[in-house]
Amino acid sequence: MRGRLLRAALLGLACAAPLPALPSTESHDASLQVLHWWTSAGERRAAKILATRLGEEGIEWKDNAVPGGAGLGAGKVLKSRVLAGDSPGATQIIGVSVGEWAELGLLRGFDSVAAAGNWNRVLFPTVYSLVQHHGHVVAAPLGIHRINTLFYNRKLFTRLQLSPPSNWAEFEQVSRKLRAAGVAPLMQSSEPWQVATLFENLVLAESGPEYYRDLFVRLSPQAASDKRLREALFRLRGMKGWMAPLEELSWPDAVRRFSRREAAMLVMGDWAKAELNEWGFATDDEFSCAPMPGTAKLHLYSVDTLAMLGTDSSRMAAQEKLAKLVVTPAVQQQFNAAKGAVSVRRDADPTGMDSCARDSWTTFAGGAAAQAPSLVHRMAADEESRDAIIAEVHRYFMNDSITEADVQRRLAAVLRALNLRRRK
Ligand code: BGC
């Protein structure tokens, strides 16, 4: 495998099709190493559910959790392990990255598991297309996270007779009242991906899914020069005025501070809900969630997926079992309730979900017109483009002497360069 990856990297060659499923042998492994980036309390509980269910199938889940929100550390560990010829049997790879790994011919294909489970019918079309590469299924979907989630301290809002803001004018009004009551309106970390999370929310709120896709999926240099980007940048900077003192916090630390009432609102993917629940804060009691202002009917999504690595047949039976297991209705329900996400299945029952999950699932079920892929969580663009955009946005956010026009010029140039490279 090592030679193959190096060859692909050196020659720029790529294998277009996933690895063919090799015939199963008698001596298959009864354990599977699973690499992922679920290290917070809520995430660990969700992973444990998968591990337990896999254990019931007679396969031991060997946990390889790598710290780093949004998978920063896990991506690096995965690359070095594969290059060292020590690839884990299963790994969390999500969004556009699935295609990048599949293109190298390193992912196991799951067409027969998918066909047996009717994935083409039971999965949301967006999810089904995320797990495919050149028409073959190469990953198993776990759950859908909503990134345009505004968490608010419900008790505090009730006491101050405030409603969650549904547009920017309301956001400013609510923030003014919170400030007057001595509470910082918004918790925000200065960690680059978390700043970019707020920014992608603002782009979507400011301009809708079509423009959002022009900028982050089609990477159009014209979109970078558009005045809608200027507005979103301007809004990002303006929001600094409503934030609790800025620090580079990990996302669980930002959630922790929100739970301690150091700020009344927090913009974060709904894995934060799992964390709050885990710490004893029940949904719609201490806190609630609402869509980010201006995005009520929209779903900014990140879909978690597991891909399986390995050319040898010894792992195949275990890998296929895991892929099959995670899509079953029972595992979907249990895992996603613990993870703060929602089911990837169209036949899930939203009535049993809490209010945050119900709104997320029904909005996502609205179809492609309601959905926008998260740039930060690799749903929109390749790793290189994602990293370049996040770096520009973060620089602007941290340094007030950089103007919106500067960022727009730089981003247009970056996108032009990335497009040229893509065409090669
Ligand atoms: C993943 C989530 C994870 C979050 C925070 C996202 O990219 O999809 O499963 O909880 O990052 O690390």
Q: What is the 3-state secondary structure (H, E, C) of 81-108?
A: HHHCCCCCCEEECCCHHHHHHHHCCCEE
Given the CA of residue 69, which atom of ligand 1 is nearest to it? 12
Q: Using the predicted structure, report yes or no on whether residue 190 has a pLDDT greater than 50.
A: yes
Q: Tokens 């990297």, residue?
A: 9
- Listed in sequence order, the residues at least 6 apart from 252 whose beta carbon sits closer than 8 Å to its beta carbon are 40, 41, 69, 275
Percent of the chain exceeding pLDDT 70 equals 93
Q: Is the pLDDT of residue 23 over 50?
A: no
User: 71 CB less than 6 Å from ligand 1?
Assistant: yes
pLDDT band at 320 (very low <50, low <70, confident <90, very high): very high
Distance 281 CA to ligand 1 centre (A): 20
Find the mean pLDDT for residues 241-267.
98
- Beta carbon of 70 within 6 Å of any ligand 1 atom: yes
How far is it, in rounded angstroms, from Cα 127 to Cα 123? 6
The overall average pLDDT reported for the chain is 93
Cβ(77)–Cβ(66) below 8 Å:
yes
Q: What is the DSSP string of 124-159?
A: -HHHHHHTEETTEE--EEEEEEES-EEEEEHHHHHH
**pTM (two decimals):** 0.94
Is pLDDT of 2 > 70?
no
Between the CA of 340 and the centroid of ligand 1 the distance, in Å, is 10
Reported as a single tens digit per residue, the pLDDT across 194-209 is 999 999 999 999 999 9
Domains in the chain (CATH in brackets) are: 27-146+301-372 (3.40.190.10), 149-299+374-423 (3.40.190.10)
pLDDT at position 423 is 75
Pocket test for ligand 1, best of 377, 378, 379, 390 (most atoms within 8 A of CB): 377
Whether pLDDT at 86 is above 80: yes
Q: How far is the CA of 46 from the centre of ligand 1 (A)?
A: 12
Output the CA 69–ligand 1 centroid distance in Å. 6
Per-residue pLDDT at 18 exceeds 70: no
Q: Whose CA is nearest to atom 12 of ligand 1?
A: 69
Share of the chain above pLDDT 90, in %: 91
Q: Is the pLDDT of residue 13 over 60?
A: no
Residue among 264, 265, 262, 287 at smallest CA distance from 274: 287
Residue 357 pLDDT exceeds 50: yes
Which residue has the CA at smallest separation from atom 8 of ligand 1?
304
Q: Are 198 and 267 a contacting pair, CB within 8 Å?
A: yes
Is the Cβ atom of 37 under 6 angstroms away from ligand 1?
Answer: yes
C-beta 271 within 6 A of ligand 1: yes
Q: Give mean pLDDT, residues 146-159.
A: 98
> Mapping DSSP to helix (H, G, I), strand (E, B) and coil, where does residue 161 land?
coil
How far does residue 147's CA lie from ligand 1's centre (Å)? 10
Q: Amino acid identity of 25?
A: T
C-beta 69 within 6 A of ligand 1: yes
Helix (H, G, I), strand (E, B) or coil at 65: strand
For β-strands 149-153 and 287-291, DSSP reports them as antiparallel
**Virtual CA dihedral for 80, 86, 88, 89, nearest 10 degrees?**
140
Q: What is the pLDDT of residue 28?
A: 53
Instruction: Give yes or no for a contact between 324 and 116, defined as CB atoms under 8 angstroms apart.
Output: yes
**Which residue's CA is minimally distant from atom 10 of ligand 1?**
271
Distance 150 CA to ligand 1 centre (A): 16
Cα(67) to centroid(ligand 1), Å: 11
> Residue 76 above 70 pLDDT?
yes
**Token pair in block for residue 26:** 């008698």
| 3-state DSSP assignment of residue 180 | helix
Ligand 1 mutation target, pool 250, 271, 360, most atoms within 8 A of CB: 271
Among all chains, which residue has been given the structure tokens 């996270």?
Answer: 145
349-358: long-range contacts, CB 8 A cutoff, minimum separation 24 = 354/273, 354/283, 354/284, 355/283, 355/284, 355/288, 355/289, 356/146, 356/149, 356/270, 356/273, 356/283, 356/288, 356/289, 357/270
Alpha carbon of 267 to ligand 1 centroid (Å): 14
Question: Would the pLDDT of 24 be above 70?
Answer: no
Residue nearest to atom 9 of ligand 1 (CA): 304
Q: Mean pLDDT across the stretch 320-341?
A: 98
Residue 10 has a pLDDT of 28
Among the ranges given (24-38, 180-194, 378-392), the one the predictor scored with the smallest mean pLDDT: 24-38
- 95 torsion bin: left (phi>0), alpha (psi -120 to 50), beta (else): left
pLDDT in tens, 375-406: 999 999 999 999 999 999 999 999 999 999 99
Helix and strand totals (H; E) in the chain: 19, 12
CA 334/CA 352 separation, integer angstroms: 11
Give residue-wise pLDDT tens across range 108-147.
Answer: 999 999 999 999 999 999 999 999 999 999 999 999 999 9
Residue 412: pLDDT band (50, 70, 90) is: very high
Q: Sign of dihedral through CA atoms 310, 314, 316, 319?
A: negative
Torsion of Cα atoms, 375 then 328 then 114 then 316, to 10°: 100
Distance 271 CA to ligand 1 centre (A): 7
CA-to-CA separations, 180 to 40, 185, 378, in angstroms, rounded: 34, 10, 39
The whole-number pLDDT of residue 405 equals: 98
Tell me which amino acid residue 301 is: Y
Q: Is residue 377 lining ligand 1, measured as CB closer than 6 Å?
A: yes
What is the 71 CA–ligand 1 centroid distance (Å)?
7
Residue type for position 192 = P
Token pair listed for 60: 């031991």
pLDDT band at 421 (very low <50, low <70, confident <90, very high): confident
Q: State residue 19's pLDDT score.
A: 45
